Amino acid sequence: MTTFQISKEFLLNGEEFKIISGAVHYFRIIPEYWEHSLFNLKALGCNTVETYIPWNLHEPQEGNYNFEGFADVKEFIKTAERLGLYVILRPSPYICAEWEFGGLPAWLLKDPTIRIRSSTTNFLSKVDSYYQTLFEVIGPLQVTRSGPVIMMQVENEYGSFGNDKQYLKKLKELMLKHGAEVPLFTSDGAWHEALNAGSILEEDILPTGNFGSRSSQNLIQLAKFHKEGNKAWPLMCMEFWDGWFNRWGDEMIRRNPEELAGEVEELLQLGSINLYMFHGGTNFGFMNGCSSRKNIDYPQITSYDYDALLTEWGEPTEKYFAVQKAIKKVVKNSWQDTPRTLVRKDLGVFKLNRKVSLFSTLSTLSNKVYHPHPLTMEELDQNYGYILYQTKIENKEQIDNCQIVDANDRVQIFADEKWIHTEYQETLGSAFVLPKETKELSILVENVGRVNYGGRLLSPTQRKGIRSGVMIDIHFHHYFDHYPLALDDLCKVNFAGSWQENQPGFYEYVFEIDELADTFLDCSGFGKGIAELNGFHLGRYWNVGPTGSLYIPAPLLKKGINRLIIFETEGIYTDKIHFSKQPIYI
């Protein structure tokens, strides 16, 4: 049986072992391509793969667990094992990862008394239940039971959030209770304040550092922290940031390959490394996170390319080959190989088949919920997507002072189904004019993603929809019909209804192909919305850039007839769609 221990160095079967790892998130890559990514990781010269485990993927509704398809973490780990890779797991309740709500399930927000990432009983009881099921899956895969898993994380960058040591100790106890047997670690920024707040040295939990530059200086700080706790432990960067994530409206972030390779070489001479990310992948569906700056949430894009060593679509980059050389310089006996590539093609241009306005198909998409005042998404047991609120109005004259009070995230307002106003970020809560003789007010609210890092994890803004109410003149208006729009099955769209300009609507493209290859849906002719291909949610698009396309892995296509449905909220669409060989940037 293989053994793994932490002493002055990492010890594998009693011999010194330098961990050369890369992050590959199984939940951002279609299962058919897991082996492709993991082979290329090993071909780089790595001996280990690291992955987070997102709670919200595996327990999407409280008590309902999912370990199939994208969520089949067991199969991902077994695939790594077949390729001869060891595995580092990060099953902490919170993962950050630019993932929706940092991996925390949105259903936690339904109970306002739950304080996430704390030692409170009501939060830890939810973690306890989750771990009971999760560890039944991952427990048998540990190296202590002849599996490939060598280490597990207790909490993630907790030193950048809190210093509740009891919380960290209780998480460790829950992990041990449910069967964790391999060494445990924490990971934090490599400065004293963060390490001190996020670590539990007295529990013999290994502190690791997260950084992307100044390798020597950061490892010196980490070693100093170990020494202060009278520990002589190996040094490891658990997240060496080789690129960065992107937000809507920003430019794509890029890093020089040779500069990166130099930093990797320097780090490997001093300790162990986990490249974050090796392969970023895609935020399919509604699972992108949000950054927070100055009390405003900025959603991240669908692509999680990260400027990583493999592109979003799994192609080796200049960085890949530069880092491969750097690894060989330091670890001369590392096994390396030529990386694999995937086939990409331009699949052609196809015409629009049908279209329908959202207002014309509401009854087929959602079960109406009536309530005297507006309810939030969480109160409606909805985690992601949109909500349409509708209410009757009896105004004979124009009303100049109307307001949506406390709403998130993006609000579109319609008077008798005609667009009159959009609010987002800085303008939320601003006054709008309700035209004379309006009979019905409709408010479409989009959840653009919950924050994944920082203090705003605890903000009321992470509860989506309208929280306080709608003011008409000087009073709160009452009596609303709610249409929860999770949009998890666009087969329910009734295209027999009518279509109107400048309304949110659905656009169907039916096309036939005779070959399968990776491709990119050109979204540059649309405004803002989502796309579903053959029942699979490809993610969000938005014409503010920086990306203007959505990645489509070949296994999502079918030989023969395919069906693409786009939900477009801005009324901007094109009569033809193009599947491009290359990604499109705006």
Residue 434: exposed, middle, or buried by beta-carbon count in 10 A (0-12, 13-18, 19+)?
buried
Residue 336, domain member (yes or no): no
240 within a domain of the structure (yes/no): yes
Smallest CA-to-CA distance from 279 within 315, 251, 255 is with: 315
pLDDT digits (tens, 9 = 90+) for 503-513: 999 999 999 99
Residue 524 sits in the same domain as residue 402: no
Say whether the peptide bond before residue 409 is cis (omega within 30 degrees of 0): yes
470 with 526, same domain: the answer is no
**How far apart are alpha carbons 491 and 565 in whole angstroms?**
9
**pLDDT tens-digit readout, 56-94:** 999 999 999 999 999 999 999 999 999 999 999 999 999
Q: Are residues 231 and 203 in the same domain?
A: yes
Domain membership flag for residue 12: yes
Query: Residue 254 corresponds to which tokens in the numbers above?
Result: 């890029």
147 in a structural domain:
yes
Same domain for 415 and 480, yes or no, is yes
Q: Angle at Cα 366 formed by Cα 361 and Cα 371, nearest 5°?
A: 120
Identity (one letter) of the amino acid at 79?
T
Residue 95 sits in the same domain as residue 192: yes
Res 420: pLDDT? 95
The letter for the amino acid at 41 is: L
- Which one, of 171, 218, 212, 168, lies nearest residue 192 by Cα? 218
pLDDT in tens, 93-119: 999 999 999 999 999 999 999 999 999
- Give the E-state strand segments of 109-235 in sequence order: 149-156, 184-189, 206-211
Question: In the listed set 434, 461, 485, which residue is the last one of a domain according to the structure?
Answer: 485
Q: Are residues 391 and 436 in the same domain?
A: yes
Cis-peptide, bond into residue 377, ω within 30° of zero:
no
What CATH number corresponds to the domain at position 268?
A: 3.20.20.80
What is the model's pLDDT at position 394?
Answer: 86
- Please state, for a pLDDT cut of 70, what percent of the chain lies above it: 100
- pLDDT tens digits for 387-418? 999 999 988 899 999 999 999 999 999 999 99
Type of residue at 385: G
Contact 528, 553 (CB under 8 A): no
Q: What positions carry a catalytic annotation? A: 157, 239
User: Are 551 and 477 within one domain?
Assistant: no
**Is the domain of 452 the same as that of 540?**
no
φ, ψ dihedrals at 528, nearest 5° = -155, 140
Which pairs from 109-113 meet CB under 8 Å and 24+ separation? 109/378, 109/462, 109/463, 110/378, 110/379, 110/381
Residue 139 falls inside a structural domain: yes
In a domain, 343, yes or no: no
Task: Please give the Cα distance from 239 to 5 (Å, whole number).
Answer: 20
Q: Supply φ then ψ for residue 236, to 5 degrees.
A: -145, 135
CATH (domain of 445): 2.60.120.260
pLDDT at 426 over 90: no
Contact of 93 with 117, CB cutoff 8 Å: yes
Q: Is the pLDDT of residue 312 over 90?
A: yes
Q: What is the Cα 76 distance to its own chain's centre?
A: 18
User: 236 is written with which tokens?
Assistant: 């490891």
Contact 300, 547 (CB under 8 A): no
Q: What is the pLDDT of residue 199?
A: 97
**Taking Cα atoms as reference points, which of 255, 253, 306, 260 lies closest to residue 281?**
306
Same domain, 230 and 304: yes
Answer yes or no: is pLDDT of 295 > 90: no
Is residue 357 within 8 A of residue 507, CB to CB? The reply is no
pLDDT band of residue 425 (cuts 50, 70, 90) is confident
Over range 354-360, report the average pLDDT. Answer: 98
Under a CB-based contact definition with an 8 Å cutoff, are residues 53 and 134 in contact? yes
Question: What pLDDT is attached to residue 206?
Answer: 98
Would you give the end-to-end CA distance of the chain in angstroms? 53
> In this structure, is residue 221 part of a structural domain?
yes
Q: What is the number of structural domains in the chain?
A: 3
The pLDDT-based confidence of 308 (bands split at 50, 70, 90) is very high
Radius of gyration of the chain (CA): 25
Q: How many beta carbons lie within 10 A of that of residue 113, not counting itself?
A: 7
Q: State the residue range of the domain holding 468.
A: 362-485
List pLDDT tens digits, range 192-223.
999 999 999 999 999 999 999 999 999 999 99
- The SS3 of residue 377 is coil
- 480 and 501 co-located in one domain: no
158-196 pLDDT per residue, tens = 999 999 999 999 999 999 999 999 999 999 999 999 999
Please answer whether residues 312 and 37 qualify as being in contact, where contact means their C-beta atoms are separated by less than 8 angstroms.
Answer: no
Residues 6+ apart with CB under 8 A from 101: 56, 289, 450, 451, 452, 457, 462
- Contact status, residue 92 vs residue 154, Cβ threshold 8 Å: yes
Q: What is the pLDDT of residue 294?
A: 83
Domain identity same for 382 and 404: yes
Rounded to 5 degrees, what angle do the CA atoms 372, 502, 476 make?
Answer: 20
Are 59 and 65 in contact, with CB atoms under 8 Å apart? yes
pTM: predicted TM-score of the whole model, two decimal places: 0.97
pLDDT digits (tens, 9 = 90+) for 516-537: 999 999 999 999 999 999 999 9
Number of C-beta neighbours around residue 101 at 10 A: 26
Residue (of 184, 211, 569) closest to 414 by Cα position? 569
**Among candidate residues 485, 506, 529, the one where a domain is terminated:** 485
207 and 309 together in one domain: yes
Domain end (from 426, 459, 485)? 485
Rounded CA-CA distance 502/459 in Å is 33
pLDDT of residue 276: 98
**What pLDDT, on the 0 to 100 scale, is given for residue 24?**
99
What percent of the chain shows pLDDT beyond 90?
98
Query: 585 in a domain, yes or no?
Result: no
